[in-house]
Chain A
Amino acid sequence: EAQVTQNPRYLITVTGKKLTVTCSQNMNHEYMSWYRQDPGLGLRQIYYSMNVEVTDKGDVPEGYKVSRKEKRNFPLILESPSPNQTSLYFCASSLNRKGVGGYTFGSGTRLTVV
């Protein structure tokens, strides 16, 4: 089944403790992206990747890092999480950046930083 898999689904952590949210897709998509979803603010792009070893900042990249060492994986790294990073996070992939045919989204990771 074609899908984007994120892990974990839920995570509660403490301020400053480094964490990684994994994202993997099995569709051989070139483009992958991370979003955060907050009430009243909709989906905002954090980082995206056009292909292996090619990443770029989205609208809200501060406090996040990403890497794209393999085509299928695009982990999101929070080196020193803070409470304002409490949010619902989605990874998405598509054939290309334009997203023709739509992006495929993962099921989300609900992160709470205390």
Chain B
Amino acid sequence: GESVGLHLPTLSVQEGDNSIINCAYSNSASDYFIWYKQESGKGPQFIIDIRSNMDKRQGQRVTVLLNKTVKHLSLQIAATQPGDSAVYFCAENMGGKLTFGQGTILTVHP
């Protein structure tokens, strides 16, 4: 049978739509956050980061929002493309220790 926790959250979108991937982090003392993208058969790749003294940071087609009040992080991808299909992880850094979330599977349909 299936085990709880083996299935990651999933998000399916149409090509051209905007995607929002959410992450709840655990430690209110965490001061640095990173989003990674992991494609099948590859290692995680850095996408964007944000320090705890900021609430928003924009990159190319990506925006990270940080809400420290509710310990929530989100990654927004504009005009999502099939090449964006991957697993997305958030990571929090507290005192030099990086802790990763389990990830969200993003599938982009042409």
Task: Give residues in A with beta carbon < 8 Å to B.
Answer: 4, 35, 39-45, 90, 92, 97-108
1/0 per residue B1-36: CB within 8 Å of A? 001111100000000000000000000000010101
1/0 per residue B44-55: CB within 8 Å of A? 111001000000
Min CB distance B100 to A, Å, is 4
| B contacts with A, residue count (CB < 8 A) | 24
B96 touches A97 (CB 8 A): yes
Would you call B89 an interface residue if the criterion is a C-beta within 8 Å of the partner chain's C-beta atoms?
Answer: yes
With contacts A100-B32, A106-B43 taken as known, whether A43 is within 8 angstroms of B49 at the C-beta atoms is no
A99 touches B43 (CB 8 A): no
A40 touches B43 (CB 8 A): no
Given contacts A41-B102, A42-B100, 15 further A-B contacts (CB under 8 A): A4-B43, A39-B6, A40-B3, A40-B4, A40-B6, A43-B89, A44-B100, A92-B43, A98-B32, A98-B93, A102-B46, A103-B46, A104-B46, A105-B45, A108-B42
Min CB distance B75 to A, Å, is 14
B102 touches A103 (CB 8 A): no
Task: Give residues in B with beta carbon < 8 Å to A.
Answer: 3-7, 32, 34, 36, 41-46, 49, 89, 93, 96-98, 100-103
Interface secondary structure of B, over-half rule: loop
Min CB distance A26 to B, Å, is 15
Chain A positions within 8 Å of B5 at CB level: 40-41
Interface secondary structure of A, over-half rule: loop
A-B contact pairs, 11 of them (CB 8 A): A39-B6, A40-B3, A41-B102, A42-B102, A43-B100, A99-B98, A100-B32, A102-B46, A104-B46, A105-B45, A108-B43
Chain B positions within 8 Å of A4 at CB level: 43
Min CB distance B5 to A, Å, is 4
Min CB distance A102 to B, Å, is 3
Min CB distance B36 to A, Å, is 7
Chain B positions within 8 Å of A35 at CB level: 100
Q: How far is the CA of A88 from the CA of B72 in the complex (A)?
A: 28
